[in-house]
Amino acid sequence: MATHESILDFWDLQADQFGEDPRANTPDRWIHRLELAAVSRILRPLPSPLAILDLACANGYTTFLLHQAFPEHRIIGGDLSPKMVEIAQKRLAKQGAATSPHLTFQVMDMLDLHDWRARFDVVVTIRGLINLPNAASQWTAIRQIADSLKPGGHYIAVENFRHAQENLNAVRKHLGLAPLPYRWHNCWFDEADFRQHCATLFDLAEFLPITSTYYLVTRVVYSKLCQLEGREPDYDHPIYDIATQLPAEGDYGPVKLSHWIKRA
């Protein structure tokens, strides 16, 4: 059974293995494109400058991309893994403070954000809450996120949901493909429970299946072609690039975006 400590050990090992590489976060580097585009669409019309927390940022791969897209905002990347934060800080130092004056990284526990009460206009988690060991710790983190936001602040959650994974696996089974498993260090959400808990603290602006078509193309169509050809799927195949350019339809992508606004 996963614990807070065993999950932290896993991410420290990921840091040792991959360093600055986006695969430190997930072997599917293409999904960052969808996630960044969805978050950026929400940030773009908001007034500047914003104080943004990218929580559970790992090695800061997406944090750097957010900073490049929105250099006017003050962005903090926070992660529980000291090794991940060290990698991000070293990359930032190589860039030089003059080129990134509004970007910082530090070790941060999403279960204890008391020192950051009402400090942020926006908090972003990208597959961050799912790396907590159980629902109780996830609800604690959501409350901590709410407390760290100013009244009227925005919580952008890009997290994984079980029902969409079940839909995807049903299609895979129909085509003779094995189900995609859940990783041991992840605790995925029931969408109804997630909505219910967040709704006690926030008003919902939108809830979108941003990866649905992407997963159908890459985890069903491409996987079936690989099975027919007797080879393993390869994340470097151009079909991943193509799949990121398609509009999201249906409910087959477990990674979904929800946008919540803290009540004043």
Q: Which residues make Cβ contacts (< 8 Å) with residue 230, sequence separation at least 6?
A: none
Distance CA 50, CA 59 (A): 22
For the stretch 30-58, pLDDT in tens is: 999 999 999 999 999 999 999 999 999 99
For the stretch 240-263, pLDDT in tens is: 999 999 999 999 999 999 999 999
Residue 223 has pLDDT above 80, yes or no: yes
CA angle at 81 for the pair 71 and 207, rounded to the nearest 5°: 60
Residue in 95, 68, 189 with CA at minimum distance from that of residue 137 = 189
**Which tokens go with 208?**
């979108």
Q: What is the per-residue pLDDT for 100?
A: 79
Q: What is the DSSP letter of 161?
A: B
Q: What is the per-residue pLDDT for 97?
A: 63
For the stretch 154-196, pLDDT in tens is: 999 999 999 999 999 999 999 999 999 999 999 999 999 999 9
Residue 228, SS3?
helix
For the stretch 53-76, pLDDT in tens is: 999 999 999 999 999 999 999 999
Q: What is the DSSP letter of 110?
A: T
Cβ atoms of 108 and 63 within 8 Å: the answer is: no
The terminus-to-terminus CA distance of the chain in angstroms comes to 39
For the stretch 86-112, pLDDT in tens is: 999 999 999 876 677 899 999 999 999
Give the pTM.
Answer: 0.96
Measure Cα distances from 7 to 160, 178, 184, 213 in Å.
Answer: 17, 26, 9, 30
For the stretch 70-91, pLDDT in tens is: 999 999 999 999 999 999 999 9
* Alpha-carbon dihedral 97, 103, 105, 106, rounded to 10 degrees: 100
For the stretch 110-156, pLDDT in tens is: 999 999 999 999 999 999 999 999 999 999 999 999 999 999 999 99
Cβ atoms of 180 and 169 within 8 Å: the answer is: yes
Q: Enumerate domains of the chain plus CATH numbers.
A: 4-162+183-212+253-262 (3.40.50.150)
> What percent of the chain stands above pLDDT 70?
99
Q: What is the per-residue pLDDT for 96?
A: 76
For the stretch 192-205, pLDDT in tens is: 999 999 999 999 99
Q: What is the per-residue pLDDT for 60?
A: 97
Residue in 205, 201, 193 with CA at minimum distance from that of residue 161 = 193
Residue 246, SS3?
coil
Distance CA 249, CA 253 (A): 9
**Which tokens go with 256?**
């979904």
- Per-residue pLDDT band for 264 (boundaries 50, 70, 90) equals confident
Distance CA 151, CA 13 (A): 37
Cβ atoms of 49 and 72 within 8 Å: the answer is: yes
Q: What is the per-residue pLDDT for 98?
A: 64
